[in-house]
Structure 1
Amino acid sequence: MMPTAQLQVINATPVTTRQPQSNNVLTFPSHRVLLPVTLLADTEEESRSQLGALLHSPSGVYVTRTERSRSRTHVWFDIARDDMPFMLHTLITTLPEAIIGAVTHPAASKEGH
């Protein structure tokens, strides 16, 4: 008579099967927009303070680029269209004196550079 073996499973995770991908699948770009914002400041210290407040606010996670030019700091936000109301509310609450620019599509911005 053969001895019986026992199988012990520890930390088992389910195995999922992947569906084969075909070459005729179209991918659509995400619905994201770029929002340029200009911060106005009289001094370098005030500019740093404004930028710090912005980056530490909930809208700071959307910042993709910053650029300093004379007495202005330019900030670009890359956000989902669905997040636009939240973003604008947070931005206006955090820095009401900021100048909000025109919303553009991310591809249009890359073509301009």
Structure 2
Amino acid sequence: MACANPIPRFEIVAPLERPRAKVVPLRAPRAWLEVMLNANTEEGARAHLTALLHSPLGVYVAQTAFVRGAMRVQLDIAPEDIDFTMHTLISSVPQATIGALRPRIANKGA
């Protein structure tokens, strides 16, 4: 039995190439968090720094300096990581003094 209304045949054709829009990914601005690792001696401050570097926050450490009897540490963090950073910092190094949170300004020449 032949069908009275046969199904028409369609050819599969590749879709038309459209020019892609230039998309610039937006990155969330990062921030500097200054932390002071207080101790009675430089060795004590270095021990606190070692504990911080071996914690999950070690990847955020951007700069360290021994200033006026304390180890100053700058953490380079993303805004969405602030809550995690604070909780981990308090549990890893309870002797730390948490300083200011400032936006990191990108170099214009880079």
TM above 0.5, yes or no, is yes
- CA distance in 2 between counterparts of 1:29 and 1:36 reads 22
**Counterpart pick for 1:36 among 34, 37, 41:** 34
- CA distance in 1 between counterparts of 2:21 and 2:65 reads 42
Q: Summarize deviations over 1:52-73 as a string: whole Å, max 9, x none.
A: 0000000111000001113111
1:82 maps to 2:80: yes
Deviation for aligned residue 1:46 = 0.6
Q: Residues 9-20 of structure 1: matches in 2 within 5 Å?
A: none
Deviation for aligned residue 1:44 = 1.6
Structure 1's unaligned 5+ residue stretches are 1-18
Deviation for aligned residue 1:27 = 5.5
- Quote the residue 2:99 is aligned against: 101
Give 1 or 2 for the bigger CA radius of gyration. 2
Over 4 Å off, 4+ runs: 19-22
- CA distance in 2 between counterparts of 1:56 and 1:26 reads 35
- Quote the residue 1:62 is aligned against: 60
CA RMSD across the alignment: 2.1
Give 3-state SS (helix, strand or coil) of 1:31's partner: coil
Q: TM-score, normalised by structure 2?
A: 0.71
Conserved in 1, the CA contact under 8 Å of 2:34 and 2:100?
yes
User: Number of residues paired by the alignment?
Assistant: 89
- CA distance in 2 between counterparts of 1:43 and 1:70 reads 10
More strand by proportion, 1 or 2? 2
Deviation for aligned residue 1:30 = 2.7
- CA distance in 2 between counterparts of 1:68 and 1:59 reads 19
1:51 maps to 2:49: yes
Deviation for aligned residue 1:94 = 0.8
Amino acid at match of 2:74: W
Amino acid at match of 1:95: V
